[in-house]
Chains A and B, each alone.
Chain A
Amino acid sequence: MTEKHFVPKTDAEYTKKDFTSDQMVKWCPGCGDHAILSALLNAFPLLHDKKENICMVSGIGCSSRIPYYVDTYGFHSIHGRACAIATGVKLANPALSVWVNMGDGDSMAIGGNHLIHAIRRNQDLNITIFNNEIYGLTKGQYSPTTKFGQVTKTSPYGTIDYPFNPGELVMGSQGTFFARSLDVMPPLTTEVMTRAAEHDGASVVEVLQNCVIFNDKTHQAITDRAVRDDRTIVLEHGKPMLFGKNKEKGIRFNGRQLEAVVIGENGITVDDILVHHEDTEDVGIHMMLARMGGDLPVALGVIRNVKKVSYTQLYEAQMEEQMEHGKYRCMDDLLNSGDTWEV
């Protein structure tokens, strides 16, 4: 079927300021959310979606305050339900560009069911998960992404919960778009958000975010400037998976699993390095990339971006077909259909 564009575009040259609301931003100084907000406000002008047609939907948590800080329509809903509410917004009016913002607890604990089903349906929603691996607004309890063994207020002897990796959840739910960024890399965040918005279907962007109060430096092992180039890799479609300060390292598939190698060592050349294809339908490699960490650099950028007819397209096509060719044109038709008789 031919893909339709439902969200009206505009020629207006918006700037970041056009999307900045008059509300005071009340996140803690140093919180990673400030940078994510800024990245988002920078993404909107690039998209040229009509401003009135943008709708931000969030759940509950620090990050879910974001609709107040964006000068668009917004819905700051209840804990865990942002995906469900956004689903209704988009179904009622496909001309809206719907953005869902949630934290890790909001999206994957209380709201896990809504998240996986929103992804499975592939409805055209732009979902951002702010992942700080902690419950911040309730002051420091472990979340579904808290590192195994971490001591928090509710795990004084260390958590014994195995954490979720959002990328795995997305791909396990037949997701068509997954990207990852760091709060400390706003240009990359803006870029993946823009790509997410352009994707027709459910897109999920995970931003690894620092909670300066209750989980400070949780991502430091990869975000620290001194190590970032070695501990992360920004994937680019069609390009070899190289990383390191001078792109001297790469990712190779050794027949069994992914491994990090150094170009020039043991006779390894760039030709041995995997080339990233974000549009590979099979989730195999994408899943492996999303899982990287530990000895391997954490994958950033667009990890998966495949075409699959979106729920929005399918729904609107059925509506159009029935409204044009369906049996009943108006309620009087329906009321008088079937067996009726005159008294």
Chain B
Amino acid sequence: MSQNQIVNKEDIVVRFAGDSGDGMQLSGTLFSDASALTGNDIATFPDYPAEIRAPHNTIAGVSGYQVHVGKSIYSSGDKCDILVAMNPASFKSNLKWAKKGATVIVDIDTFTTEGLEKAGYTADPFTEEFERDYTIIKAPVTSFTARIGEEQGIDKKTTEKCRNMFALGIIFFLTNKSLEQTNAYLERKFAKKPEIVKLNKAVLSEGYEYADKLEAIHSHIVSVATAEMPKGRYRNITGNVATAWGLLAASEKSGRRLFLGSYPITPATDVMVELAKHKSLGARVFQAEDEIAGICSAIGASYAGALACTSTSGPGLSLKSEALGLAVMTELPLVVVDVQRGGPSTGLPTKTEQSDLAQALYGRNGEAPLVVVAASSSANCFYWAFEAARIALEHMTPVILLTDGYLGNGSQLFRIPKMADLPTIKPRLATPNDPNYKPFYRDPETYARQWALPGMEGLRHRVGGLEKAPEGNLSTDPENHALMCRNRQEKVDRVANYIPEQEVQGNPDGDLLVVGWGGTSGALTLAVEEMNKEGKKVAYTHFNYICPLPKNTGDILRKYKKIVVCELNNGQFAGYLRTQFPECPMHQYNKIMGLPFEVGELKAEFNKILGE
């Protein structure tokens, strides 16, 4: 391969698309893992249908996985440089995600009359115009794979499952990467089935050699720059696993056993799936009969002294509303993880959105303040889950952690922390037999009450959904209700005293302040960075603490003449900011398509505002 001309690139986006059963998620993962292990920064984004196996070879059944690798990666990338399309349906639905001039690899064996018809094609998809705009590799993936299967005496069904390895082999050639990592993975994964290892390795290698023989594409080989990352130990991690691990870490650092009561829901289920594995670390996971039982069991566990959590997505959060109010009223620590998806109602279960913000902030009866924080990358879900738990335990309040489908299912490099470097969490446990203990007496600084656990001597008390006096008995006294409402609000407001100030990135003297929150930081960071490189002056502030906001939020907002709040909803954060800072006029940039932001669209919008 040394005679080939290799193009050096800062980054490259590869998109794997195929039928739901074609193994595209695995191909993408293997490519991103191999890239990470050879020093690239990475971000991935799975784009899969809600149906497990939709009708074979139809558009409805197309599953995609986009991988962005390179030197400094903030997001999974807008459009791809290389598209793999394993059938006509995936070609048809994914070509819009390919850059003009991209390399498109198709399994030409699937472009039969029947296959084209199923995808809704009435004419040859490879028009002259297409052939001019893209580099097309019409690879005989199915037939080559079948031949290897036959040679090795493997049945047809098993062989067909390896087609993705052929495509992956081509990708490895095109990106100048060795097969070593993937071969090692296959040996591990199928250790007990040597014939499967042999078959997969042979198909992978065949794809690689096939590409090597195609002289036409030798000018398209790229070498992607490796990352300049802080020294340390790294791993690849998805947002949902990072969230689960953040909760486990908080359990270890607080000395409180971890409890998760949850009900399966896309795209949040993997938080529960991950924690269910870790009984050895003390994780007590309970798969409840419904969403309500999920949160109620967590509230019960919290009363009994656990670091209690429940994980869900939008519709589940709706069902948990009443119980969330109970957690507010009883002032028990609780972490609610909401991996947001497209709504309302069942909405777009497998697509990402940020439209649960208003529900998180306000979705309860009565004056029911609680803390809301949001993660902003797949990897930092670890730290935000940890922080959500810290606030819950130290301030005796429910905390909603907002992540989203994009963060939860996407993956990123994660610099592995040492547990010794994480802060100790200090739960506000009461002292047994403390004669002065009263359930709703408060710490004068934080306004947090003390946590007396059943089993502790001399602290017997009752909690519940009815209003109580500070001493713990029921009270319908008007003054008391006003006082308790004020105190619960004050407790949440005072969390602002224990969080860092909001920071501004980009050009702090910019003509425009870009405001984002939660899972959009990758695309926003890159858009702002590129614009500043292009000579524009753009400042950027990204919120993770949503309620309460950092104390200097108003100071930042008031500094800029032009502000644009960008979010994947119709303006919920913008509306929230306006109620608190009515003096600051704000533009909005909203996208409500179930998809993450693209850098291109953001830059176009920012340029438009700057030009106004």
User: Interface residues, chain A, CB within 8 Å of chain B?
Assistant: 23, 51-55, 57, 60, 67-68, 71-78, 81, 83-93, 95-96, 113-114, 117, 315, 318-319, 321-323, 325-332, 334-336, 338-343
Contacts and interface: CB of A to CB of B under 8 A. Distances in A.
Interface stretch (B53-61, B296-304, B518-526, B534-542): B296-304
Interface stretch (B95-103, B120-128, B202-210, B284-292): B284-292
B245 interface: yes
B280 interface: yes
B462 A74 contact: yes
Contacts of B234: 340-343
Interface in B297-342: 297-306, 308, 322-323, 325-326, 330
B473 A23 contact: yes
Contacts of B298: 88
A93 B257 CA distance: 10
Interface in B442-482: 453-458, 460-466, 473-474
A73 B472 CA distance: 12
16 contacts: A68-B473, A75-B330, A85-B296, A88-B299, A89-B304, A89-B454, A91-B284, A93-B455, A96-B454, A113-B289, A114-B296, A319-B282, A336-B416, A341-B234, A343-B232, A343-B233
A327 B297 contact: no
Nearest to B420: A332
Interface in B213-265: 227, 229-236, 245, 248-249, 252, 257, 259, 261
B419 A88 contact: no
A336 B259 contact: no
Contacts of A323: 279-280, 282
Contact of B248 (A54, A91, A331): A331
A137 B350 CA distance: 43
A249 to B, nearest CB: 42
Given A73-B461, A81-B323, A335-B245, A88 B417 contact: no
A341 B290 CA distance: 40
Interface string B131-172: 000000000000000000000000000000000000000000
B454 A93 contact: yes
A311 to B, nearest CB: 10
B474 A68 contact: yes
A85 B464 contact: no
A335 B37 CA distance: 16
A322 B304 CA distance: 22
Nearest to B330: A75
A117 B325 CA distance: 24
Given A96-B455, A319-B284, A339-B236, A88 B464 contact: no
B278 interface: yes
Contact of A52 (B249, B301, B454): B454
B11 interface: no
Interface of B is mostly: mixed
A329 B248 CA distance: 12
A319 B279 contact: yes
A16 B416 CA distance: 56
Given A52-B455, A75-B462, A92 B284 contact: yes
Contacts of A338: 235
A49 to B, nearest CB: 11
B89 interface: no
Contacts of A114: 289, 292-293, 296
Contacts of A60: 465
Contacts of A318: 279
Nearest to B248: A331
A202 B564 CA distance: 56
Contacts of A342: 232-234
A325 B279 CA distance: 10
Given A53-B454, A74-B462, 8 more contacts: A74-B461, A81-B293, A84-B289, A88-B304, A89-B304, A90-B300, A91-B301, A323-B279
A90 to B, nearest CB: 8
Contacts of A92: 257, 259, 284, 300-302, 304-306, 308
B464 A84 contact: no
Interface of B: 33, 36-37, 39, 227, 229-236, 245, 248-249, 252, 257, 259, 261, 278-282, 284, 286, 288-290, 292-293, 296-306, 308, 322-323, 325-326, 330, 416-419, 453-458, 460-466, 473-474
Nearest to A335: B416
A143 B357 CA distance: 37
A55 B303 CA distance: 10
A175 to B, nearest CB: 15
Nearest to A85: B300
A170 B233 CA distance: 54
Nearest to A315: B284
Among all A-B residue pairs, the 4 with the closest Cβ atoms = A326-B280, A88-B300, A76-B464, A88-B297
A186 to B, nearest CB: 24
A343 B231 contact: yes
A84 B259 contact: no
Nearest to B38: A341
A89 B303 contact: yes
Nearest to A110: B292
Contacts of B292: 81, 84, 114
Contacts of A51: 460
A87 B286 contact: yes
A73 B437 CA distance: 14
A68 B462 CA distance: 7
Nearest to A337: B235
Most buried by B among A53, A77, A331: A331
Nearest to B285: A91
Contacts of B474: 68
A334 B281 contact: yes
Most buried by B among A54, A67, A74, A338: A74
A336 B418 CA distance: 9
B300 A95 contact: no
A67 B455 CA distance: 16
A228 to B, nearest CB: 35
B279 A95 contact: no
B460 A52 contact: yes
Contact of A88 (B33, B286, B326): B286
A91 B454 contact: no
A93 B304 CA distance: 6
A318 B419 CA distance: 26
Given A53-B455, A331-B245, A331-B281, A84 B296 contact: yes
Most buried by B among A55, A72, A336: A55
B281 A78 contact: no
Nearest to A79: B322
Given A76-B464, A334-B245, A329 B280 contact: yes
A164 to B, nearest CB: 18
B359 to A, nearest CB: 19
B233 A336 contact: yes
B454 A328 contact: no
Contacts of B297: 84-85, 87-88, 91
B279 A326 contact: yes
A334 B149 CA distance: 38
B296 A96 contact: no
B278 A328 contact: yes
Given A84-B296, A343-B234, A76 B290 contact: no
Given A331-B252, A339-B37, A52 B282 contact: no
Nearest to A72: B460
A321 B280 CA distance: 8
Contacts of B416: 335-336, 340
A78 B462 contact: no
A322 B280 CA distance: 5
A74 B296 CA distance: 15
B290 A113 contact: yes
B279 A117 contact: no
